[in-house]
Amino acid sequence: MSSTRINHFTYPAIACLLVLITGCTLSSYNTHPQYSARISAIKNPVVLMSDVNIYQMTSDGLVTLRDDWSAVGRKNIENAISQNLKSRQCNIKPLVTNTHASQAIEEVKALYKLVHKTMDQQAFGPSQTNTKKRGFQYSLGSMETILQTLGADAAIFVTGYDKISAGGRKSMLDLAIADSSGTILYYSVRGTIKGNDLRDPESAQLMVRDLLSGFSRTKG
């Protein structure tokens, strides 16, 4: 565990502010202009969990990253994604790697962090009007080689946090689905300031259900 004293969380700052202003929840998703034509090809995605952490916050502002809680939360989220997608004829591929694959995955995750920051800013910030006009179009570059190595045809990226304190909790998760070309076909955000606890499987299921509410593999 590690502790720091901070005034606020920077991820995703704009979305968090919207949660506080608009009420208890934030739920939104965007899709690529070619989503309907391309999503049906995704059958065996792999989950690449990135920066999903659970923090404990004391009344004096000391924030502790709880690695033990975070590990439980990540597992609950992955299980929830797998269960949710089974009914949509998608089977999550287990993440089995070697040294070379692990390095390639870390490189993809690092690239996703940069793209994710831009998506988050343009989805919720001043540029959202321009984003709607030009359409939701983001790419990580080809991921065909690493996905073939993993036996998958798409990658699901998940980022977020759960902040727990005596005064309540604040949870924020987002999920992106990219095909082998690296094109992000689906991006969803869910935030709440009451109720959810990612350490609890049922709470994780509810968050993931909302994140995937706009996801369908049916063309049209």
Which structural domain, as residue segments, surrounds residue 90? 29-211
How confident is the model over 40-49, as pLDDT tens digits?
A: 999 999 999 8
Find the CATH number of the domain harbouring 179.
3.30.160
Q: Is residue 2 part of a domain?
A: no
Q: Is residue 100 part of a domain?
A: yes
Question: Could you tell me the pTM of the whole model?
Answer: 0.84
Q: Is residue 216 part of a domain?
A: no
Q: Is residue 105 part of a domain?
A: yes
Q: Is residue 11 part of a domain?
A: no
Q: Can you spell out the DSSP letters for 162-216?
A: EEEETTEEEEEEEEEEEETT-BEEEEEEEEESSS--TTSHHHHHHHHHHHTTT--
pLDDT band at residue 171, thresholds of 50, 70 and 90?
confident
% of the chain exceeding 70 in pLDDT? 78
Is the pLDDT at 1 greater than 80? The verdict is no
Kindly provide the residue ranges of all beta strands, DSSP E only, lying in the chain, ordered along the sequence.
Answer: 2-5, 25-31, 45-57, 62-65, 154-165, 168-179, 184-192
pLDDT in the model for residue 21: 37
**Half-sphere exposure of residue 178, counting CA atoms within 13 Å on the CB side?**
27
pLDDT in the model for residue 97: 79
14-45 burial: b if 16+ Cβ within 10 Å, else e? ebbebbeeeeeebebbbbbeebeebbeebeeb
Mean pLDDT of 169-197: 88
Tokens representing 160 are 């977020």
Which of 18-22, 101-105, 193-197 ranks highest by mean pLDDT? 101-105
| Total domains, the chain | 1
Q: Is residue 185 part of a domain?
A: yes
- DSSP class of residue 151 equals T
pLDDT in the model for residue 142: 95
Q: Is residue 12 part of a domain?
A: no
